[in-house]
Amino acid sequence: MRKPTLLASLALLLAARLAGATEGKPYAFADNWPTHHVFGDGTDLGLSLKYQYDLDRFSNDRGRLEDARTNRRKELGAYLKKPGVYDAVAAYDFQARAWLDVYLRMQSKAWFGRDAGALRLGFGKTPVGFEGNTGTGSTTFLETALPVQAIYAGRRIGIDWAIQRGHWLANAGYYRGGDLNGDNDGRMLAARFAWVPLNRAGNVLHLGVSASREWPAGSTDGRGIHTPPGTRLRARPEAGLADRLIDSGTLAPARRVERRGLEGVWIDGPWSVQGEYLEARVARTQGRPDFDASGGYVFASWVATGESRAYAGGNVGDVKPKGRYGALELALRYSELDLDDGPVSGGRQRDWTLGANWYLNRYLKLQANYVRAHSERRGLRVDPDVVELRAQVQF
């Protein structure tokens, strides 16, 4: 048996054991040591794990995409937190060989006696892009939508502030020094605001706006070779093991990158609708024209077993199954992205994705997606059909 297949089988066996424990409720593994331990003063020390194994099959792809099955993510993290006072996390993805969140967040109420929000220092996600800020283990589809892949800035090193009230939330940040993976040199300002007129379990309306301005920086390697500041916008056909069909190429030299977003989520019992519109403008120097990109997506989901999608902290989470056999969710998404502008022929793409999620328990999720993609770049049309499967263990 191949090693990845063996790992996936072990993950499924572990989840089955967890499912049995949850049903009888004699012992909840994820609520006890060694997953985490709560000390007498409320301080919580623990580990987090996310393991995903994917299988992708492609057809009608003109030979551009290759069938694959392998690990998608192998994430291990540690955290230390005291509710209402602080939390610190550090996580690493051994599959991508990349750092994830590494930060310390402090709650103002514990230090000043009143809630003026939370201050976070370190390496974390930037606020422009709703689905980009959803945990990668909690997305409704296997992969984020086309515009999120291309335009969302990802993580940066910096300081940011966030505050939440009953019907609104806001956060703003300043980032400088790139990221922990040695990329994205420069600095950035970013902010987000959302109005949440409905904010009860199973009854949510979230409407938000966000924007950022980034000033990329060039870099010089040990050989004295200088790389001018630049950025690159591209997306896979909503399949994590696929090559990209549309790509702006490196846009350099870049003086400034501006990103803007509109976001909305509506949850009404087992039904929900979510959508975003994102755009980016890259201002270039040396007489090269500016570049504009834009795209959006919308999807609807129905939890056939009656549960609701979770919502907390200004974002969504996994469905929490109530029945013995878990929860079943069905979803349909449309997304599009335009990377053609002036002399830059990055391409255009639009995808339809049909998804099904089976939440066996709080630890195990099985996902299946069918993607019908339509892309065109420099006169070449590639319209692949994609079938994706994923097994995920997360605690």
The pLDDT of residue 223 is 76
Task: For the chain, give the percent of residues with pLDDT over 70.
Answer: 91
Rounded to whole angstroms, how far apart are CA atoms 386 and 371?
Answer: 5
**CA R_g for the chain:** 21
Between CA 11 and CA 319 the distance in angstroms is 20
The CATH superfamily holding the domain 113-394 is Porin (2.40.160.10)
Residue type, 187: R
Note the pLDDT of residue 36: 85
Contacts of 283 (CB under 8 A, 6+ apart): 254, 255, 256, 257, 258, 290
Mean pLDDT of 242-265: 96
Q: How confident is the model at residue 34 (pLDDT cuts 50, 70, 90)?
A: low
pLDDT at 395: 87
Q: Are 355 and 140 in contact (CB under 8 A)?
A: yes
Instruction: Return mean pLDDT, the chain.
Output: 91
Cut 0.85: pTM above it: yes
Other beta carbons within 10 angstroms of residue 96's beta carbon come to 14
Average pLDDT over residues 310-317: 95
Predicted pLDDT at 365: 97
Domain locations in the chain as residue ranges: 113-394
Instruction: Give the model confidence (pLDDT) of 175-193 as tens digits.
Output: 998 899 988 999 999 999 9
With a pLDDT cut of 90, the percent of the chain lying above it is 84
Confidence band for 13, pLDDT divided at 50, 70 and 90 = very low
pLDDT for 21 beyond 50: no
pLDDT at 18 over 70: no
Residue showing tokens 């391409």: 347
- For residue range 218-253, what is the model confidence (pLDDT) as tens digits? 876 667 777 789 999 999 999 999 999 999 999 999
